[in-house]
Chains A and B, each alone.
Chain A
Amino acid sequence: MSAARGRAGWTACFLGVVRRELLRFLQQKERFLAALVRPLVWLFIFAAGFRAVLGVSIMPPYQTYVLYEVYVVPGLVAMTLLFQGMQSSLSMVYDRETGTMRGLLVSPYPRWFLLTAKLSGAVLVGVAQAYAFLGIAWLYGVEAPPLGYLTVLPALALSGMLLAAIGLFLSSAIRQLENFAGVMNFVIFPMFFASSALYPLWRVRDGSPLLANVALANPFTHCVELIRFALFMQVNWLSLGVVLAMGGAFLAAAFWAYDPARGLMARRR
């Protein structure tokens, strides 16, 4: 049937999976609220409190001294994408436990395509959350150039795809929903704190060269920097390369993991 329906069938399938992700998100209003409150707490409380301690000097992409709130916003935007990526991973584990994922996996369309559609839905939700946060930050007085809100879109989409792909790969390895919280502690917090989200790498290097190197190897750092530069209408080529390469690698790993013949899912009863 899939072949007979041609391009229209593929499009309908893709849009149907994305629509379901959006529907689920719209039905969980508290999830949207939680996704917003988390970075806002960091912005209103942490950033305001640490403004004096963590003043930031001139560094690309900024052309003047910036307040700590301005520095921290791209990191908090990336944080919303990180949590959304893990949330979509959690929903995959939940779907698997409740059995609803089976409907997806017995579709005649290839799994890589179905998983890409699911990821795209998750990215769309993450980007909407990121823009909602940027809007509140703007009202709070943390402004980027107006055009920056447009140029940041591809950076948000690429970063969201990388983080959701990491979540998807993890979901294939997590056997039960109960294990999820533990795994998240070993993923979200190290990724967030060992990155340039809260402090510039040059400052970290002063305190701990090792931590700075770890942060440089952390894909989340490159999501943050890609977003930071894009918000100020610039491209951080290193970060773009890392996000693209790591995104491709984690997508390939997730496709492999969900392959019924070879992947991790094939080894589980």
Chain B
Amino acid sequence: MTDAAPAALEVDGLSFAYGKKKALDGVSFTAPAGAFTALLGVNGAGKTTLVNLVTRLFAAREGRIAICGRDLGSAPGAALAQLGVVFQSRALDPNLTVAQNAVYHGALHGMGRREALSRAEATLARVGLADRMRERVGRLSGGQQRRAEIAQALLHGPRLLVCDEPTTGLDIESRAAIVRDVHALAKEEGVGVLWATHLVDEIDAEDGVVVLDAGKVIAAGRAADIAEGRPLADAFLALTGAAA
């Protein structure tokens, strides 16, 4: 990344509370463009809250979020146009075909039907689902549905892809394939990826890692640096154990 290019995602001093219960407390980190950044934390660490804030499902009241240099608070349209999201729960309509879902998603980003279908062909081919355009989403396997969601999230050419535990409920093979594909996507197409997970085996040594615990960032850096020669899982347990 050059000095001039903004990071795919900048989070600065972000706090959020559900009533009196603090879910995020002064969270700051950067996810560079063209890199895979894992947001690692146990259940309840605040990962999904952070994803909801980055996607503007919730509005941040304290702190700042910028996507590719666009401030989410003051210019939400410009910021969200750079964002693709794969949520933890399924977001595709199971009663519509993959193509119909793509046309709908394209429309939400201002694309006409023809353009959306043409782009969908390309993004579906990337995840190995080019031949499933006319299939109803509900008839796809769990792994295929996740792949279709990733393809759909990429339809409008986002510069930041946010994935919230996208491999939940998938078998080992499907998980590995999706993780591999998204790593390749970051490297080959320069898309910044923020990957929220509690599964350390989805993270490569060269990936960026932000460790979240009880709403706070307790470590951030290259996975290999955080691991310090140990397995990353051990380092993660030591970190979160120490924080508790």
Query: Residues on A close to B: CB < 8 A?
Result: 1-5, 8-10, 12-13, 15-17, 19-20, 23-24, 27, 98-100, 102-110, 114, 259-262, 266, 269
Contact = CB atoms under 8 A, between A and B. Distances in A.
Nearest to B149: A103
A20 B91 contact: no
Contacts of A266: 58-59
A3 B78 CA distance: 8
A97 to B, nearest CB: 9
A4 B45 CA distance: 37
Nearest to A269: B18
Contacts of B108: 13, 16-17, 103-104, 107, 109, 114
B107 A19 contact: yes
A105 B53 CA distance: 12
Given A99-B90, A260-B56, A269-B18, A108 B76 contact: yes
A23 B100 contact: yes
A9 to B, nearest CB: 3
B77 interface: yes
Interface of B: 18, 55-59, 61, 76-83, 85, 87, 89-93, 95-96, 100, 103-113, 156
A27 B111 CA distance: 24
A10 B110 contact: yes
Contacts of A114: 108
Given A3-B78, A106-B85, A13 B57 contact: no
A262 B111 CA distance: 29
A103 B91 contact: yes
A4 B109 CA distance: 11
Contacts of B55: 102, 106
7 contacts: A1-B156, A5-B110, A16-B106, A20-B107, A99-B91, A103-B105, A109-B77
B107 A2 contact: no
Contacts, number: 113
A184 B133 CA distance: 38
Contacts of A20: 93, 96, 100, 104, 107
B96 A109 contact: no
Contact of A8 (B83, B92, B100, B112): B112
A98 B110 contact: no
Contacts of A105: 56-57
B109 A108 contact: yes
Contact of A13 (B91, B92, B96, B110): B110
A59 to B, nearest CB: 46
A72 to B, nearest CB: 35
A200 to B, nearest CB: 43
Nearest to A9: B110
B50 to A, nearest CB: 14
Nearest to A263: B59
B85 A1 contact: no
A27 B95 contact: yes
Most buried by A among B59, B76, B82, B109: B109
Given A13-B107, A105-B57, 20 more contacts: A1-B82, A2-B77, A3-B78, A13-B110, A17-B108, A19-B103, A19-B104, A20-B93, A20-B100, A24-B93, A24-B95, A24-B96, A98-B89, A98-B90, A100-B91, A102-B57, A106-B83, A114-B108, A261-B59, A269-B18
